[in-house]
Amino acid sequence: MKWMALLVFVLPAVGMALSLRRIHAARRLCTGTLYVSGIYQGGLHLLTVLFALMTLSCAVTNAPDRRALTGVLATCVVLVEICALAASRFRLVVDDEILRVTPCFGRPVALRFSQLNRARETCRRGLILYQNDRPVCIVPLACTGYREFRQALQEHGLL
């Protein structure tokens, strides 16, 4: 039980520190870079702090199912922090005719605009880039620089 309480409070603190470091690093990025804004990551970290406070209040009370509820809330903290980490990992860099994509999950990929068959825009997910009629990358709507990248795809005739 003590390790769970430690995990519940240490994980959001480490996540917030990493997020603040990434926000300062994002200010120095070049203009051809798309990334998920730190505001969304900060919101996820705030959510984990709220879950951590609920976990603490649940652990202190004498409820009959407090261990099970504390475990569920601690699991929620871990899952939300994984989502925040995945969101901070996404990066798309446009270098002339080359796209360097670092997805939330998976290996980094380098593509040329000429290798892309088409792009499709969805209202929920964002831009889906296709190579040989297979989806290669999804660019989330929450990315900083999304509109400019969309215009670049239109200029290349992909949208």
Same domain flag for 83 and 114: no
Please identify, among 43, 60, 88, the residue that sits at the C-terminal boundary of a domain. Answer: 88
Across the range 2-10, mean pLDDT stands at 65
Burial class (CB in 10 A: 0-12, 13-18, 19+), 146: middle
Please identify, among 56, 88, 120, the residue that sits at the C-terminal boundary of a domain. Answer: 88
Q: Crossing angle, helix 2-26 and helix 38-60, to 10 degrees?
A: 170
Confidence of residue 30 (pLDDT cuts 50, 70, 90): low
Closest CA to 143 of 17, 29, 38, 21: 38
The number of distinct structural domains making up the chain is: 2
What value does the mean pLDDT of the chain take? 79
Same domain flag for 55 and 114: no
Tens digits of residue pLDDT in 90-131: 888 888 788 888 888 888 888 888 888 888 988 888 889 898
Same domain flag for 74 and 37: yes
pTM of the model: 0.68
Per-residue DSSP letter, 115:
G
pLDDT score of 32: 74
How far is 114 from 141, CA to CA, in rounded Å?
A: 23
| Full residue range of the structural domain in which residue 151 is found | 91-155
Across the range 64-77, mean pLDDT stands at 80
Please identify, among 66, 88, 110, the residue that sits at the C-terminal boundary of a domain. Answer: 88
Same domain flag for 21 and 54: yes
Closest CA to 140 of 82, 83, 78: 83
Same domain flag for 8 and 82: yes
Same domain flag for 46 and 15: yes
